[in-house]
Amino acid sequence: MNEQLIHTYLSGHATPGEQRELLEWLRESEENKRLFFEMKAVWSGLQTMDKLAESDRMESSLRMLNEKIDRRAAHMIKPTVSKSSFAVSGKWMLMIAAVILLILLPLTWILREGSTSDITQLYVTNRSNLVKVLYLPDGTKVWLKKNTSLIYPEKFSTKQREVILDGEAFFDVTKDKKHPFVVKTSSFNIKVLGTTFNVHSYKEDVQVSAVLESGVIQLQSAQGDALVTMHPGQQALYKPDTKELEVSYVAVNEHTSWRYNLVTLNNVTIHEVVKSLEENYQIKIQTDSVTLRDHRYNFTYDKGDSAEESVRMLQYVTGLNCKITKR
């Protein structure tokens, strides 16, 4: 992929033909989407910088990112379309290995569909700082964020596909009109046929949310009452205690890029960026940020990268001297 095409698109000068070419490239693989998000993050962050210094830093930042693209491309294996197996880059292979090593705790409960039967339930929890990916029995793909748990049956029933979520997850649901897919949480339910969406609902949350990427979903109360039908690009914020519901259009990528192990920070101070890096990498960062304390940034980094590489990206974006002082 020609990196210049991405630069042209981000600057707003891409022709309709170039936009179609970029879209086709993004559809080829998850790795392509990840690389695009990283380049977009660098570009967005640099928009907040002083215009006189922007050119040199932009060149340095993009050069570093292009080197990363080249390194990944050298080890990338083209993914297949199969839902049962897929080829991946080295980093994705590590993620798959992590999923395979998950502790699956078998649970048994009673589901009533005309007659009573025992169905084995599987419990998956992600305590890792990295995203975990798994496939459900129907081929649905799920990304689990840190401190997220999912309960799902070893085999879906003949009536509907039902899972129970505590935490944040992104779902790419296999389409099946005869068997609706239902995500149950402690605060609300989501009913779909086949679509991609993000759910954020921890048990202790006062406000929970859903963001729809594609398709159509119905947001329901925990009791099953319909709340709203959502369309692509919309986010629903819901407060279970007060029943307050707010639906608005958002930049979907900002709410879903975490599934590529990316941390996306928007309109934040340098202090907030440093705090995020320190918490994720368990390090201490020294930087002279006094002169930029009122500046705000859009900054994204890959948790799979080393602490040194992410801090170096911060230096390129802000122009500050940053140093890791303690691990």
Strands 181-184 and 188-192 turn out to be: antiparallel
38-48 pLDDT per residue, tens? 676 666 555 54
Q: Report the share of the chain in percent with pLDDT over 70.
A: 74
Q: Which residue has the tokens 């594609």?
A: 214
> Residue 226 has what pLDDT?
93
Is residue 133 predicted with pLDDT exceeding 50?
yes
DSSP state of 200: E
- Answer yes or no: pTM beyond 0.85: no
Q: 203 or 294: which carries more pLDDT confidence? A: 203
For 63, other C-beta atoms within 10 Å of its C-beta total 11
144-195 pLDDT per residue, tens? 999 999 999 999 987 889 999 999 999 999 999 889 999 999 999 999 978 9
> Residue 72 has what pLDDT?
57
The SS3 of residue 38 is: helix
Is residue 297 predicted with pLDDT exceeding 80?
yes
Residue 10 φ then ψ, to 5°: -65, -30
> Residue 86 has what pLDDT?
36
In angstroms, rounded to a whole number, what is the distance separating the alpha carbons of residues 198 and 123? 20
The DSSP-derived string for 151-195 is EEESS--SS-EEEEEEEEEEEEPPP-TTS-EEEE-SSEEEEESS-
- C-alpha distances (whole Å) from 319 to each of 56, 60, 181, 287, 302 are 10, 11, 48, 11, 19
> Residue 327 has what pLDDT?
73
In angstroms, rounded to a whole number, what is the distance separating the alpha carbons of residues 312 and 246? 39
In angstroms, rounded to a whole number, what is the distance separating the alpha carbons of residues 66 and 58? 12
Tokens representing residue 93 in the block: 């292979």
> Is residue 242 a contact partner of residue 235, using CB atoms and an 8 Å limit?
no
Q: What spatial distance separates the first Cα and last Cα of the chain, rounded to whole Å?
A: 37
Tokens representing residue 241 in the block: 């205690």
Tell me which H or E stretch contains 75. helix 51-75
The SS3 of residue 127 is: coil
In angstroms, rounded to a whole number, what is the distance separating the alpha carbons of residues 45 and 266? 9
The DSSP-derived string for 282-295 is T-EEEE--GGGTT-
In angstroms, rounded to a whole number, what is the distance separating the alpha carbons of residues 287 and 294? 15
Mean pLDDT to the nearest integer, 227-242: 95
The identity of residue 116, as a single letter, is: T
Under 8 Å CB-to-CB from 92, ≥6 apart: which residues?
30, 31
In angstroms, rounded to a whole number, what is the distance separating the alpha carbons of residues 227 and 212? 15
Tell me which H or E stretch contains 239. strand 234-239
Angle between helices 270-281 and 307-318 (to 10 degrees): 170
Residue 225 φ then ψ, to 5°: -75, 135
The mean pLDDT value of the chain amounts to 78
Under 8 Å CB-to-CB from 23, ≥6 apart: which residues?
none
Tokens representing residue 282 in the block: 């368990």
Confidence band of 135 (pLDDT split at 50, 70, 90): very high
> Residue 136 has what pLDDT?
96
In angstroms, rounded to a whole number, what is the distance separating the alpha carbons of residues 171 and 184? 13
Q: Which residues pair with 111 in a beta bridge?
A: 117
